[in-house]
Chain A
């Protein structure tokens, strides 16, 4: 199994530019999560999807951020326009719906996209 795949691994852009991050979840996983990690705020949940439907986007910082999941194998997180304070590592994770009662919420993370907005 290839695991959760994110692209690009690194992105450097200038303030005001549009940034699109991509994620392919593990096949068979029905929930997908986007996180942002910074030194100051740690790991924060931005949005999550269940069966391709956005369930909770209360963590999305503002209208500049949007996320889509057009099918079970692909999701995007878009920032438009980007700002220097958006610089962070963005992780995508997917959840295995199988497993026992205590394991059913395990999430598997991609390698992340390190975003720098200059």
Chain B
């Protein structure tokens, strides 16, 4: 089983649609959870952290379910500029260190006009 698994995608949605991405992680000791965004031929950039209580940033809502080891990202009113690959990222404690991050394989989103 992969340490971080995401919806395979790709997702092709019309402008204005709501789209949801899901992610599961294998290590119950994980403490930090993020969604990163990666545009074509660019570096990954932090989109938002995922907090235990859930959090919202404008059109983006992230939720964490520790019991099910599940993370989600909801994008409302999607824009053409939201087209990118979304990476689910979890810290997997190794060798007593919690600093390392493990990246999911990413879900590609294309928002269509």
User: Do the beta carbons of A56 and B42 come within 8 Å of each other?
Assistant: no
Interface string of B72-99 (1 = CB under 8 A from A): 0000000000000001000100110111
| Min distance, Cβ B26 to any Cβ of chain A, angstroms | 16
Taking CB atoms, residues of chain B closer than 8 Å to A48 are 99-100
Expressed in whole angstroms, the Cα–Cα distance for A99 and B109 within the complex equals: 30
User: Do the beta carbons of B103 and A31 come within 8 Å of each other?
Assistant: no
Expressed in whole angstroms, the Cα–Cα distance for A65 and B52 within the complex equals: 38
Segment of A17-25, A75-83, A107-115 in the binding face = A107-115
Among residues of A, the one whose C-beta sits closest to the C-beta of B33 is A102
| Min distance, Cβ A32 to any Cβ of chain B, angstroms | 10
Taking CB atoms, residues of chain B closer than 8 Å to A108 are 46
In the complex where A43-B87, A95-B99, A102-B52 touch, is A111 in contact with B94 (Cβ < 8 A)?
A: no
Which listed residue (A42, A55, A107, A111) contacts B101, Cβ 8 A? A107
User: Do the beta carbons of A43 and B44 come within 8 Å of each other?
Assistant: yes
User: Do the beta carbons of B43 and A91 come within 8 Å of each other?
Assistant: yes
User: Do the beta carbons of B97 and A104 come within 8 Å of each other?
Assistant: no
Q: 9 tightest CB-CB pairs across the interface, nearest first?
A: A109-B43, A105-B32, A43-B103, A42-B105, A105-B91, A109-B44, A112-B43, A111-B43, A102-B51
